[in-house]
Structure 1
Amino acid sequence: MLIEERLKELHEKIKRKVPKGITVASVEFEGPELVIYTDDPKSFADQDDLIKILARELRKRIVVRPTILEDPERAVTAIKEVVGDNAGITDIFFEQDTGEVLIEAEKPGVVIGKNGATLRDITKEIGWTPKVVRTPPIESSTVKQVRQYLRAAHQERKELLRRIGRRIHRDVIAKDQWIRVTTLGCCREVGRAAFLLSTPESRILIDCGENPGNSTSTPYLYVPEIHPLTQLDAVVLTHAHLDHCAYIPLLYKYGYTGPVYSTPPTRDLAAMLQLDYLDVMNKEGNTIPYSSNEVKEYIKHSIVINYGCVTDIAPDIKLTFHNAGHILGSAIAHFHIGDGLYNVAFTGDIHYGKSRLFNAATNHFPRLEALLMESTYGGAGDMQPPRAEAEEKLYSIISDVIGRGGKVIIPAFSVGRSQEVMLAIEEGIRLEKLPKMKVYLDGMIKEATAIHTTYPEYLNSDLRNLIFKEGLNPFLSDCFEQVDSPDKREKVITGDPCVVITTSGMLNGGPVMEYLRSLGSDERCALVFVGYQADGTLGRRIQKGWREIPIGNRETLVINLECFTVDGFSGHSDRRQLMNFVSHMQPKPEKIFTIHGEESKTLDLASSIYKKYHIQTMAPMNLETYRLV
């Protein structure tokens, strides 16, 4: 059936279902959604359950939009009149390509109203579909810029969403039934995550990242299985760390024109880190693989999905994101293929344990036949201490170094580890387990923290309650200070004893290098690793005991400061948690592939899972293809 015929059929079904007097002007596929255009959005708003009924019967994500949207300036006035002054509205953002209006308010409950009554009143008045979020305590320039760009590109975006929608909802033509996974990176190594999920109908790329500390940096994007890139139906991004997202803009440089699916915070964090990645490479004199224009293309083509929302991304594939517990917005990508034919999930990076920031990774699914799971700490001896023990060790190191007049340098990823360490140190100072001192943030850490406060629904309930009910936001503590210029960095280096949390986490570039150049020879100071150091990185060399390290053409880095590794802060599951993740999984998969780990660790974990749980396991190599069905 042609798309036009299918839309006509859906139009007729919807008209038969809606009460008399409600007009359905037209229907259109836009991205994964079926959009109903009406001249009378107020009447639709009065029918509380109508959209739910239509979505259930048509098995589509339904959105209702007016054929003519109220002028944004007049709509702002109307919203404020409906809501009143008590809500503390701080921003109103119109998403013209989706017909949604995002309302930021200090008291979102007032904007929502009892059982959503105020939201319905807003829809009746202006036609736009309102979404409400809490005003973030720290304003993010990244989020603001992403929203402004999407607003400017709304006409282009509307057209591409329609094109994507028609591709998603095309007829399934192939009579064969098979499913294959091709490994394009991240196997028996940590980094350059990239996997191709293929059926006779569809091709989905999962992640596309860099390989930190390795000259073979990119995934195998030149192999015939993935070419031409125009044949890809979608890219699915599990989370925003560069070893998973760095090369997604490169796809647009070489011809990809389709969507990238992620959670909302992953979109914003990825854009921030990609731009920072280009900036760092440029400053270090390296050839940049793409430009900021390709990052904009990625943003323009992004489609965001919240946890638990089942979404069509191809004619025969539905995607659902589940919490991975790793960093803000990180997701396990679960694919339902065919009409109940097969289910496969990619964990991305997972943390199967509650942290200061997030709940433990989800491991209960409606159905699951195959799982590709990370193995970063999959070796038999990879046991992390409890978080409380790790924090006490960190407190002890900091107290000793500050006491002898030194400085503590903590290299950390700007997303995830930095915020965990910030929360631990803030509590240590507040509870007087640590001396009062300045904690300097260098690199993108402050901006990443602002994005965390923009999406509080992705944080665990304890932290949300602390911030919003008890009025104690640890991220706003007076102990934290941003390093925002070379002059400020120099003052920190020559100033009083302090803690510096800085990027990059594996010492492969970024402001941490300036601190090491200046303080690396000072025996009073300390370097504290709180995250994984990949093979080939400067961080791994120092961790192994190197004390004179050539960097660049003519420079040698001298390391006399004390070096510590504090395990327990990692966003990855340790060996025990990985085994428990499988043990408590419901349902148990038939096949497990161990990926994203050094060779010995992926092999060890695969062998242990097979022996203990009698599940078929494989530790694939790069450039292999596995048939699942």
Structure 2
Amino acid sequence: MAIEDILSELKKKIEDALPSDTTISNVEFEGPQLVVYTEEPRKFADNGNLVRNLAKNLRTRIVVRPDPKVLLAPEESIEKIKATVPEDSVISNYYFDEDVGEVIIEAEKPGLVIGKHGETLREITKKVGWTPKVVRTPPIKSRTVNNIREFMRTNLKERKEILKTVGRKIHRECTSKDEWVRITSLGGCREVGRSCFVLSTPESRVMVDCGVNVGSDENMTPYLYVPEAYPLNQLDAVVITHAHLDHQGLVPLLYKYGYEGPIYCTPPTRDLMALLQLDYIDVAARDARKIPYESADIREVLKHTITLDYEEVTDIAPDIKLTFHNAGHILGSSISHFHIGDGRHNIVMTGDYKYGPTRLFDPAVNKFPRVETVITESTYGNSNAIQPSLKEAEKNLQNIVKRTIDRNGIVLIPAFAVGRSQEVMIVLEEAIRKGIISDIPVYLDGMIWEATAIHATYPEYLNNDLRKLIFQKGQNPFLSENFRSVDSNELRRNIIDDPHPCVILATAGMMNAGPILDYFKAFAPDERNTLVFVGYQADGTMGRRIQKGWKEVPLPAKNGSDMVKMNMEVEIVDGFSGHSDRKQLMDYVKKMKPRPERIFTMHGEESSCIDLASSMYKKYRLETRALTNLETVRLV
């Protein structure tokens, strides 16, 4: 059946299901959703269950859009919205887009604009005709969030055409009589870095992650040239589990070499992804390394990105539905559940996950409607890779900071901009507020402040405790006066030239590059200072060398390298990792509902992947396998 016939049939079904006094003018696919155009948006708003019932009966996401001729003028609409929405919501801006009949309302408290069960939004539509969408005003000004929102508004017309093309591709009719499912590993197997997989059926091909291994020149990129992935324009979709570079750093390269389809991720992942991609090419340019793509390619990624919230079941191909679930790893990180065919097979790809509570996130989800195959990370898959509890880790960090400050020293913490930094920030803020640590400045250098601003923009993705603190008590720990953004070379130089008791959180997390090296060079010779590792240090990185006990460390300099004497104390504080330790990895599968049929391991050093697969087979009597790169496995 041609796509026009499918749309015509859907329009008739909708008209038959509507009350006799409610009409629609047109229907069109846009991305995974069906857009219904009407000259009577108020009637749809009057009946809150109308769209819900239609979506349920047609088994697709439905959005109602008003015909432009029924829209109230923007100035008049603003007055009516102000009269409808509580003043406490603190609206900061309105953006009207006539092409899609939407008004974007930016507010400090979006929940008040939405109302209970969306009642206030429906009231707005009844009064002005426009379809309201609500976004949070960033409590910390974020250049990234503002630029992305502005870019998306500016490119709405082009984006609408992109979504129309994507939608028609998703909703095409299935034609193959064959029924099989295969997974091909293009990177990230028996190694950490360049994660990339292709999920294939006779109808569809979906890429999951497309990362870069920043610590390796030889094994930097996934095998994108193999027939399962190339040519790239044969892919139906690219799904990104989270924003770390080893999972998404080469996504813009796909557009450079011919991919034209959608990217699926959560809203915070989209923002963090753009931030980290821009920083990646910026650092590569400064280090005179080859730049794999341009900023224009990053803009293409944004134009093609479709964001999905957790638990939102979405068609991404004619025979594949995707649902994201909380992974507990970093902001917006997702366990990806793929429902293939009409219940033919269900795959869970974990990406990176934390099956335990942290200061930022709830534990990773492991309850699904159905699951046959699980592809799990194995970063800490070795049998001896057990992490201390978060309470122990916090107490350990507090003691180290207190001890160092008491001797007039400086605590230097190399941290990933996204995840560990914010976890450590919350622990330090509480310790200072309670007087456990004296009132000292905590300097945030590199992208950490900008990444923190993005965390503050999406508090709904944080755990219950933080949400209560922010929404009910009006306390946002990220806004503490102790946190100081190092936003210039001059300020960094002042901190280095005038050493005083403080904590410095700086990128990069494995000490391969970034501002952390400036501080390290200045403070390493002084035995009063302490270097604290709170995250994983991969083989070959500067961080791993220091952990091994190197007493002299070569740092890049204009004329080759400088040798830095290591007199500062070195501490490793385990327990802050965003990855599950060995016990949590085992428990995640043990407590998974329903029980899967097979487990594949990936994203870990070779011994970790093999050890975890072997242990799960012995303990749970499941089919297991440590995947290797360039391997294709038939699942059905």
2:56 maps to 1:50: no
Residue number among 136, 139, 143 corresponding to 2:145 in the alignment: 143
3-state SS of 2:528 partner: coil
AA in 2 matched with 1:5: D
3-state SS of 1:390 partner: helix
Match of 2:66 in 1: 66
Residue number among 392, 407, 410 corresponding to 2:410 in the alignment: 407
Of residues 81-90 and 579-588 in structure 1, the stretch that sits farther from structure 2 once superposed is 81-90
What displacement does 1:98 show?
5.2
2:313 maps to 1:331: no
CA deviation string 1:143-163 (max 9, x = no partner):
111110011111100001000
Describe the shift of the 1:550–1:98 C-alpha distance in structure 2 as closer, same or farther (beyond 3 A). Answer: farther
3-state SS of 1:226 partner: coil
Q: Which runs of 5+ in 1 are unaligned?
A: none
CA deviation string 1:117-150 (max 9, x = no partner):
3211211223332233454421222111111001
AA in 2 matched with 1:179: V
What displacement does 1:427 show?
0.8
TM alignment of 1:306-317, pairs within 5 A: 306-317=309-320
Match of 1:195 in 2: 197
Describe the shift of the 1:107–1:240 C-alpha distance in structure 2 as closer, same or farther (beyond 3 A). Answer: closer
Residues in 2 aligned to 1:254 and 1:615: alpha-carbon distance in whole angstroms: 40
What displacement does 1:115 show?
4.5
Describe the shift of the 1:445–1:97 C-alpha distance in structure 2 as closer, same or farther (beyond 3 A). Answer: farther
Residues in 1 aligned to 2:99 and 2:286: alpha-carbon distance in whole angstroms: 37
What displacement does 1:205 show?
0.4
Describe the shift of the 1:466–1:85 C-alpha distance in structure 2 as closer, same or farther (beyond 3 A). Answer: closer
Of residues 299-308 and 513-522 in structure 1, the stretch that sits farther from structure 2 once superposed is 513-522
Match of 1:117 in 2: 119
Residues in 2 aligned to 1:209 and 1:109: alpha-carbon distance in whole angstroms: 35
Match of 2:493 in 1: 490
Of residues 127-136 and 195-204 in structure 1, the stretch that sits farther from structure 2 once superposed is 127-136
What displacement does 1:329 show?
0.5
Describe the shift of the 1:278–1:72 C-alpha distance in structure 2 as closer, same or farther (beyond 3 A). Answer: farther
Residues in 1 aligned to 2:369 and 2:442: alpha-carbon distance in whole angstroms: 45
AA in 2 matched with 1:583: K
What displacement does 1:534 show?
1.2
Q: Which runs of 5+ in 2 are unaligned?
A: none
AA in 2 matched with 1:112: I
CA deviation string 1:250-292 (max 9, x = no partner):
1111111100000000001100111111111112221211111
Residues in 1 aligned to 2:275 and 2:466: alpha-carbon distance in whole angstroms: 24
Match of 1:381 in 2: 384
Match of 1:530 in 2: 534
Residue number among 338, 354, 358 corresponding to 1:355 in the alignment: 358
What displacement does 1:390 show?
0.7
Residues in 1 aligned to 2:46 and 2:86: alpha-carbon distance in whole angstroms: 21
What displacement does 1:76 show?
2.8
Residue number among 617, 622, 628 corresponding to 1:615 in the alignment: 622
AA in 2 matched with 1:556: D
Residues in 2 aligned to 1:115 and 1:228: alpha-carbon distance in whole angstroms: 45
3-state SS of 2:599 partner: strand
Match of 2:525 in 1: 521
2:294 maps to 1:291: yes
CA deviation string 1:448-494 (max 9, x = no partner):
11111111111111111112222222111111101011110011112
Match of 2:515 in 1: 511
Residues in 2 aligned to 1:435 and 1:277: alpha-carbon distance in whole angstroms: 36
Residue number among 173, 176, 185 corresponding to 1:174 in the alignment: 176
Match of 1:82 in 2: 84
Residues in 2 aligned to 1:256 and 1:245: alpha-carbon distance in whole angstroms: 15
Q: Is the 8 Å Cα contact of residues 37 and 64 (structure 2) preserved in structure 1?
A: yes
Describe the shift of the 1:108–1:554 C-alpha distance in structure 2 as closer, same or farther (beyond 3 A). Answer: closer
What displacement does 1:523 show?
2.1
Describe the shift of the 1:563–1:472 C-alpha distance in structure 2 as closer, same or farther (beyond 3 A). Answer: same
Describe the shift of the 1:149–1:367 C-alpha distance in structure 2 as closer, same or farther (beyond 3 A). Answer: same
Residue number among 458, 463, 477 corresponding to 2:461 in the alignment: 458
3-state SS of 2:184 partner: strand
What displacement does 1:94 show?
4.3
3-state SS of 1:207 partner: strand
Of residues 123-132 and 258-267 in structure 1, the stretch that sits farther from structure 2 once superposed is 123-132
Residues in 2 aligned to 1:71 and 1:310: alpha-carbon distance in whole angstroms: 35
Q: Is the 8 Å Cα contact of residues 108 and 139 (structure 2) preserved in structure 1?
A: no
What displacement does 1:44 show?
1.2
Q: Is the 8 Å Cα contact of residues 212 and 537 (structure 1) preserved in structure 2?
A: no
Describe the shift of the 1:114–1:606 C-alpha distance in structure 2 as closer, same or farther (beyond 3 A). Answer: closer
CA deviation string 1:314-352 (max 9, x = no partner):
000000000000011000010000011000011010000
Residues in 1 aligned to 2:616 and 2:548: alpha-carbon distance in whole angstroms: 30
2:129 maps to 1:127: yes
What displacement does 1:235 show?
0.3
3-state SS of 1:49 partner: helix
What displacement does 1:46 show?
1.0
Of residues 563-572 and 110-119 in structure 1, the stretch that sits farther from structure 2 once superposed is 110-119
Match of 2:608 in 1: 601
Match of 1:40 in 2: 40
Residue number among 487, 503, 524 corresponding to 1:499 in the alignment: 503
CA deviation string 1:79-103 (max 9, x = no partner):
2233253432122344667544332
Residues in 2 aligned to 1:237 and 1:252: alpha-carbon distance in whole angstroms: 15
Q: Is the 8 Å Cα contact of residues 210 and 244 (structure 1) preserved in structure 2?
A: yes
Match of 1:585 in 2: 592
- TM superposition score normalised by structure 1: 0.97
Describe the shift of the 1:258–1:96 C-alpha distance in structure 2 as closer, same or farther (beyond 3 A). Answer: farther
What displacement does 1:36 show?
0.4
Match of 1:440 in 2: 443
What displacement does 1:520 show?
2.3
Residues in 1 aligned to 2:519 and 2:563: alpha-carbon distance in whole angstroms: 11
TM alignment of 1:233-244, pairs within 5 A: 233-244=236-247
- TM superposition score normalised by structure 2: 0.96
Residues in 1 aligned to 2:352 and 2:240: alpha-carbon distance in whole angstroms: 11
Match of 2:552 in 1: 548
Match of 1:570 in 2: 577
AA in 1 matched with 2:397: L
Query: Pairwise CA RMSD of aligned residues?
Result: 1.5
- The percent identity for this pair of structures is 59
Residues in 2 aligned to 1:109 and 1:537: alpha-carbon distance in whole angstroms: 44
Residues in 2 aligned to 1:97 and 1:361: alpha-carbon distance in whole angstroms: 39
Describe the shift of the 1:245–1:95 C-alpha distance in structure 2 as closer, same or farther (beyond 3 A). Answer: farther
2:324 maps to 1:321: yes
3-state SS of 2:517 partner: helix
AA in 2 matched with 1:460: N
2:110 maps to 1:103: no
Residues in 1 aligned to 2:116 and 2:58: alpha-carbon distance in whole angstroms: 29
What displacement does 1:567 show?
0.1
CA deviation string 1:486-538 (max 9, x = no partner):
11001111221211001111112111111122222222222111001111211
Q: Is the 8 Å Cα contact of residues 516 and 557 (structure 1) preserved in structure 2?
A: no
Q: Is the 8 Å Cα contact of residues 94 and 151 (structure 1) preserved in structure 2?
A: no
Residues in 1 aligned to 2:393 and 2:233: alpha-carbon distance in whole angstroms: 47
AA in 1 matched with 2:17: K
3-state SS of 1:23 partner: coil
Residues in 2 aligned to 1:263 and 1:378: alpha-carbon distance in whole angstroms: 27
AA in 2 matched with 1:292: S
Q: Is the 8 Å Cα contact of residues 97 and 157 (structure 1) preserved in structure 2?
A: no
AA in 1 matched with 2:4: E
Of residues 491-500 and 481-490 in structure 1, the stretch that sits farther from structure 2 once superposed is 491-500
Residues in 1 aligned to 2:104 and 2:549: alpha-carbon distance in whole angstroms: 52
